[in-house]
Amino acid sequence: MLSIALSELIQIFRNRLVLVTSLFMPIAISAFFVYRHEIFAEVASLGYIAAVVMFTVCAFGLYTTTVTTLASRRQNLFLKRLRSTPADDAGILSGLMLPVTVIALVQMTAILIVLATVAGQPDNVLLLVVAVLSTVIMMLSLGLATAGLTNSPEHAQVTTLPVSIGTIAIASWVGISGTEKLTLLKRLLPGGSATELVLNAWNGGVPVAESLLLLLPTLCWVAVAIALASRLFRWEPRR
């Protein structure tokens, strides 16, 4: 797995499109929100900024890159060749997704630390960590499912739009309007409960036990995405 991950990391830094998508775009958007945090905090809260930063990195840096990578490796038959090695399927997929996952986690950690330094620290750091990790797992699972529907890296530019744009839009909706109205709908949408969990972690005022219940919708999306991936994912190009 580690050898696959190292090879994939080298490929990321050689591919300009992936480099821009996974590194520069999320950093640029997140930096804008952090730089203008006073303005956005007037509309919503610092927790909202943290949630938007998290989903920006996860959507463009993690999810989109995962789908593009798997589609590319399938198209050039690299996935098929890897299956002829001693590595099992889980090890192959883990190795391919590990570099971009680590990059996304490093990005989010650095940006959220900067936000906490310039604007104010989160109320519950451990709860924030739980929110970030659960969101990362959800976006990786959705990436696997979407990769099953994606025939090529070019096709990924289309197939990733609904989830990437949708989760950021949901995070903005929940972060600005809260969950006092349409509570169930907002929590059941992908990213809705994760956004509320970030709001609680950063802004405080909600018991930890009540906040942890917000993990259930996110974990349900993980289960749904994995079930879809097991049916849709292909190791060879579609005929």
Q: Domain span at residue 110?
A: 2-232
Distance CA 11, CA 91 (A): 18
pLDDT digits (tens, 9 = 90+) for 182-199: 999 999 999 999 999 999
Q: Does some domain include residue 237?
A: no
pLDDT at position 5 = 76
Residue type, 145: A
Q: Does some domain include residue 169?
A: yes
DSSP single-letter state for residue 234: -
Q: Does some domain include residue 10?
A: yes
Q: How many domains does the chain have?
A: 1
- Angle among Cα 96, 152, 25 to the nearest 5 degrees reads 65
Q: What does the mean pLDDT of the chain come to?
A: 86
Kindly state the tokens that stand for 153: 């890296």
Residue type, 14: R
One digit per residue, pLDDT tens: the chain, 239 residues? 777 777 777 776 676 666 666 666 677 776 776 766 666 566 668 888 889 889 999 998 899 989 998 998 888 888 888 888 887 888 889 999 999 999 899 888 988 888 888 878 899 999 999 999 999 999 999 999 999 899 888 888 899 999 999 999 999 999 888 888 899 999 999 999 999 999 999 988 889 988 999 999 999 999 999 999 999 988 888 66
Q: Does some domain include residue 239?
A: no
- CA 137 to chain centroid, in Å, comes to 7
pLDDT at position 198 = 95
